[in-house]
Amino acid sequence: MRNHTIESWVSQFTGDLYHRAVSMVSDPELARDLVQETFLSAIEKFSTFRGSSSPKTWLMSILNHKIVDHYRQKFRQPILPEPEMIDQFFDHNGEWMPGRQPERWHESDENLLDNEAFLSVLKICMDRLPDKWKDCINLKYILDKKSDEVCQELKITTSNFWQITHRAKLQLRACIEKNWLI
């Protein structure tokens, strides 16, 4: 019964799981691996599935844990400062460099996430971030984790988290302003 059920779930839910994984990790090969690991975990933990949620919800939950574990493993390495990125924006006193202060975006920008051109530039800019910065942004803003959850899951301090997200936001904003017609 278990094998038949899992085979049925593989047929039904692989596509949805894969699309979710690709949107979270931006790497098709890694996404396939995560989906495969999700089904392996489902086989191992099948006896714990009580049916209180739909099979798809249960599998998505397993997948989300796999994604968080992926990012957690990437963060186990120490984060080395990348001064050249900060030097682009601030002088030695911490003041904005001339011409580097963010410009004000148009008032209509409140619906940017509905703009396909903006989303494609955002993806390009996200892919240009250092891996650890991108991971932090993905967990916080894509997976919608609370800051303390991200810190706990990635085993980083709150100040380290805020430093990473601040630097990543600055880099994203500069990249978007350079590559998107505003």
> Does the pLDDT of residue 18 top 80, yes or no?
yes
67, 150 contact by CB (below 8 A)? no
Q: pLDDT tens for residues 81-125?
A: 455 555 666 666 666 677 766 666 555 545 676 777 777 888 888
Which range has highest mean pLDDT (75-79, 99-103, 151-155)? 151-155
Return the CATH number of the domain spanning residue range 83-179: 1.10.10.10
Residue 32 has pLDDT above 60, yes or no: yes
CB 122 within 8 A of CB 176: yes
Over residues 50-60, mean pLDDT: 88
Mean per-residue pLDDT for 18-26? 89
Domain residue limits, the chain: 2-74, 83-179
pLDDT mean across residues, the chain: 80
Give the span between the Cα atoms of 156 and 10, in whole angstroms: 35
How is residue 162 written in tokens?
Answer: 């805020």
Instruction: Decide yes or no: CATH 1.10.246.90 for domain 2-74.
Output: no
DSSP structure string for 33-89 = HHHHHHHHHHHHTGGG--SSS-HHHHHHHHHHHHHHHHHHHHTTSPPPP-HHHHHTT
Task: Say if pTM beats, i.e. exceeds, 0.75.
Answer: no
